[in-house]
Amino acid sequence: MKPSQVFLGIVAAGVQFAAAATPPGSEPQVPNTLGLAFEKNIVQPGELIDQAVADAAQPTLYAPHPKLNNRNLKKHKPPGGHNDKTYLFTLVDLNLPFFALPNTTDFASLVPGIGPNRTTRLHWFEYNVHAIPPRQTLQNFSAPIAEYQGPMPPLGDEPHNYVLYLFEQPEGWKPDLSKAAAYANASDSFARMNFSVAALEAQVGKPVAANYFLVENENNTKSA
């Protein structure tokens, strides 16, 4: 499988982002906006995206515009350079409803999502990602821990918040790959549920940038 590549660079000048890079009521709150695009659509934080668009292909990511006073996103050198940075990122649904889980679930133990009776679901997890000049393209040098899966909000449910968190990967950090096979197993629909961003943050530190988009089930708006 070819390593996934995510575009990390400066795009159209004058693009403005909302002040918050993460949804209200969610943790962690992240001040720096990570650029996010589906095809040519540069996504503003909190923008509603058609499910078909988000399902068609994984999004493109790019660095915040340097004039937007974003902090903690440092300059890069080619891999092997003294100051080369390594990144990891996750894409997480923060609105998974309890009714989508089996009745045998220990609901009291679930990671809280946004709103009552909500938990989380992992949709994408990459590590060993480097920024490659000249356009600072992010290239993954390891197989994904969890390959990209498009949004899947249940029929009749409210729009879900899909949040992408970018972390600097600490030197010597090793991910727990024991769940990678389960994440890749299409028949194990519950393996990615109850994902804890806080637990990952405890290992690698706070996210340096984030962005999010909303998706609702495409059949919600179709007439019967």
CATH of the domain at 57: 3.90.280.10
Alpha-carbon distance of 198 to 95, in angstroms, equals 16
What's the pLDDT score for residue 4? 52
Between 59 and 10, residue with greater pLDDT: 59
> Is the CB of residue 8 less than 8 Å from the CB of residue 136?
yes
- Minimum mean pLDDT among 109-113, 137-141, 144-148: which range? 137-141
Res. 76 pLDDT band, cuts 50 70 90? very low
Rg of the Cα trace of the chain?
Answer: 17
Residue type, 185: N
CA distance 121 to 151: 10
Arithmetic mean of pLDDT, 200-204 = 97
| Contact between residue 96 and residue 118 where contact means Cβ atoms under 8 Å apart | yes
Specify the pLDDT at position 51: 97
Question: 215 in helix, strand or coil?
Answer: strand
Domains contained in the chain, number? 1
One-letter amino acid identity for 86? T
Average pLDDT, the chain: 82
Q: Tens of pLDDT along 20-75?
A: 899 999 999 998 888 788 988 988 999 999 999 999 999 878 755 444 445 555 54
User: What are the tens digits of pLDDT across the range 122-134?
Assistant: 999 999 887 766 6
pLDDT band at 91 (very low <50, low <70, confident <90, very high): very high
- Per the CB < 8 A criterion, the answer to whether 156 and 100 are in contact is no
Query: Which pLDDT score is estimated for 140?
Result: 79
Q: Which of 18-22, 120-124, 176-180 has the highest mean pLDDT?
A: 120-124
Query: Which residues lie across from 210 on neighbouring strands?
Result: 33, 165
Look at residue 39 in the predicted model and tell me its pLDDT.
Answer: 87
Q: Where are the beta strands (DSSP E) in the chain?
A: 5-6, 35-38, 41-42, 47-48, 60-62, 86-97, 118-132, 137-140, 160-168, 209-215
Say which residues have a Cβ less than 8 Å from residue 160's Cβ, sequence separation at least 6. 93, 94, 95, 96, 151, 153, 214, 215, 216
| Higher-confidence position of 151 and 33 | 151
Please check the confidence at residue 164 and state whether its pLDDT lies above 70: yes
Euclidean distance between CA atoms 167 and 200, whole angstroms: 10
| Spatial separation of the C-alpha atoms in residues 23 and 106, rounded to whole Å | 26
- 110 has a pLDDT exceeding 50: yes
The CB-side HSE value for 173 (13 A sphere, CA atoms) comes to 19
| Burial tier of 145 (Cβ tally within 10 Å: 0-12, 13-18, 19+) | buried
Domain range for residue 157?
A: 5-221
